[in-house]
Amino acid sequence: MDRIKIIGGSPLHGRIRIGGAKNAALPLMTATLLTDETLTLSNLPHLQDIATLLHLLQQHGTEVSLQNNGDDGHEGRSVSLRTPRIVSTTAPYDLVRKMRASVLVLGPLLAREGHARVSLPGGCAIGPRPVNLHIEGLEALGARIEIDNGYIVAEAPNGLKGGEVHFPQVSVGATENILMAACLADGTTVIRNAAREPEISDLGACLIAMGARIEGLGSETITVTGVSRLHGAAHAILPDRIETGTYAMAAAITGGDILLTHTDPGLLTATLDAMRSAGCEIAENAQERTIRVRRQNGPLQGTDVMTQVYPGYPTDMQAQFMALMSIAEGASMITESIFENRFMHVPELARMGANITVHGASALVRGVGSLTGAPVMATDLRASVSLVLAGLAAEGETIVNRVYHLDRGYERLEEKLAACGARISRLPD
């Protein structure tokens, strides 16, 4: 397994180009299963999770054509997906267990074919993450669903029927699954307490371009009027707000100055607000799609955050902010309200000298003057990147193990950081 070596202590200066959003690309790709025509997605990030989903789609019958754009092939790739026929309605355990988002094939397969058999994704490092809301939502559209030998077996032999889906709890994935399924259901579906994440609006915009009839995107109530078929479309994937926020924090934690380009500042208001409260200087330019982040006037200040559903502070930016707060002046309380068990980075940050105490869903971070490098590892994507951030600020050498987590969600991480002056390299196995 590759490792990442960082010699910390250099303030980062430069520009970083932000890629397309992983969490938008995944549901958008599964939308190919809803039509026999070609769906072309541009600004596709180059990530392990994308490769995993392409593999799953291919075994359902999707033809895949990838195009690299730009001189270095990295100026946003494009992919054309065409699924003339569904050759298998089973999403097998071996593929689904690699990535939980694979469960997003359930709604589209069921809507198009009238049946689907999708492995339960199982537990993951950040909590039990059940799929009951996906199942209950599809049942409200008339599906009969059973769990059989670890598989979700869903049947709707006469097609799905529009219905009322009232989620008791906000779920990004369940909202996406029901939204896609409802596009081909007979009649009108109303999704209440829908997630409002920008990635859902991006998926909705693409479905509308494919011929779907959807209202209320970005609000708590989404109404979908089913159509008998969807057609092909071309869609540009929105920028990755979590990648943007992560590099913004790289500038902040090292006391540097970074211009983030090809992004959308409007997607990360809560994150940028928290960073401003902590003493970062942030200049947003919506027209030029850039954000400049600087922290050159003294230390960071302890700032409290609580993760919430969008537009609140994102859970996917919790670990990175904790790394930042571990060198702030004063204390900060970081509360995780979306996932149980999302503090696995705490003991690893502590090994680098951070002073953090966890009480239930809250972590009290008492800022220390500086961190020291150490060998560390993490069990999920955002926890891993928080250790990279800590390593950039720490004195001495940090080795981050289990780099495959980073490859799931960050494209050319070492290259992007090294271009801003970070002393970071990948040590092959």
| Cβ(64)–Cβ(57) below 8 Å | yes
Size of interface with ligand UD1, in residues (CB under 6 A): 20
Alpha helices in 210-297 (DSSP H): 241-254, 269-277
Among 23, 48, 52, 401, binds ligand UD1 (CB under 6 A): 23
Q: Which stretch binds ligand UD1 (CB under 6 A): 124-132, 249-257, 292-300, 364-372?
A: 124-132
What is the smallest separation between the CB atom of 135 and ligand UD1, expressed in angstroms?
A: 7
Residue nearest to ligand UD1 as judged by C-beta position:
173
Catalytic: 124?
yes
Alpha helices in 255-376 (DSSP H): 269-277, 318-325, 345-351
Q: Which stretch binds ligand UD1 (CB under 6 A): 132-140, 248-256, 261-269, 273-281?
A: 132-140
Site string for ligand UD1, 81-110 (x = CB under 6 A): -------------------xx---------
Among 132, 285, 357, 425, binds ligand UD1 (CB under 6 A): 132
Q: Which residue spans within 61-124 are E strands per DSSP?
A: 63-67, 77-82, 90-91, 115-119
| Residue 52 binding ligand UD1, by CB under 6 A | no
Among 240, 264, 316, 414, binds ligand UD1 (CB under 6 A): 316
| Residue 130 binding ligand UD1, by CB under 6 A | yes
* Active-site option among 124, 183, 206, 280: 124
Q: Which residue spans within 99-212 are E strands per DSSP?
A: 115-119, 144-148, 151-155, 164-166, 188-192
Tokens describing residue 185: 């259901």
Among 50, 253, 338, 394, binds ligand UD1 (CB under 6 A): 338
Q: Which stretch binds ligand UD1 (CB under 6 A): 110-118, 166-174, 227-235, 420-428?
A: 166-174
Q: What is the largest CA-CA distance in the chain?
A: 65
How far is CA 343 from each of CA 191, 245, 359, 406, 420, rounded to the nearest angstrom?
32, 19, 11, 17, 29
Distance CA 286, CA 264 (A): 6
H or E element, residue 4: strand 3-7
What's the N-to-C CA distance of the chain in angstroms? 5
Residues identified as active-site? 124
| Site for ligand UD1, rule CB under 6 A | 23, 26, 100-101, 127, 129-134, 169, 171-174, 315-316, 338-339
